[in-house]
Copies of this chain bind each other. A is one copy, B any other.
């Protein structure tokens, strides 16, 4: 199991393999690590996804493009892509992080993936980084549908209730379970009028709330 697997996974041959290693090194392991590369990669990702969406959706207004990009570059999405690439098994972590299961922490994996984008940019330039990103995001980009341009569930629920002069929903954390970095959350969404109570689960409180709001929207037949 070598870092070369990752290079193959993203489809880029590194002229400078040290860049690949740095991208896969967490700061808990020492210096050089991937923090600065992550900063660089984050900017490149924003730009490449913006350009891809701009070209793909020539009629979509700016607000929809922004929401769509936010959805594609957020931690959850990067985490899912990092899992596909099996980045967790190739990370260099300090002892403490290794023992506490840091290699499976979503933020750790998402950061390493962004750092990889930065490393490709330094190794071979913007176009090479852009190709890697577009290839990795290909099926996500292909699966985008007009319905996905809508606002997130909590926002839609809030706007639905406000438009009807009703009180806003309350979100209440019901349960947290699982080990430190692999927690699962259960959240209730409660609406007074009409009386609706739904629950949602997720790996973060935010996701659990969104899922609960999505259920509430269904219950309200919106």
Contact = CB atoms under 8 A, between A and B. Distances in A.
A39 B62 CA distance: 6
Given A47-B43, A47-B46, A49-B43, A54 B66 contact: no
Interface string A46-75: 111111001000001110011001000000
A118 B53 CA distance: 13
Contacts of A127: 126
A124 to B, nearest CB: 13
Contacts of A48: 43
Instruction: Classify the interface of chain A: helix, strand, loop or mixed.
Output: helix
Interface in A90-149: 118, 121, 126-127, 130
Interface string A27-59: 000000001101110111011111100100000
Say how many copies of this protein the assembly contains: 2
Given A43-B46, A46-B43, A36 B51 contact: no
B50 A62 contact: no
Contact of A39 (B50, B118, B126): B50
User: Which range holds the interface residue count of chain A?
Assistant: 20 to 34
A189 to B, nearest CB: 31
Contacts of A130: 126
Given A36-B62, A43-B49, A126-B127, 5 more contacts: A36-B54, A40-B51, A43-B50, A44-B51, A51-B121
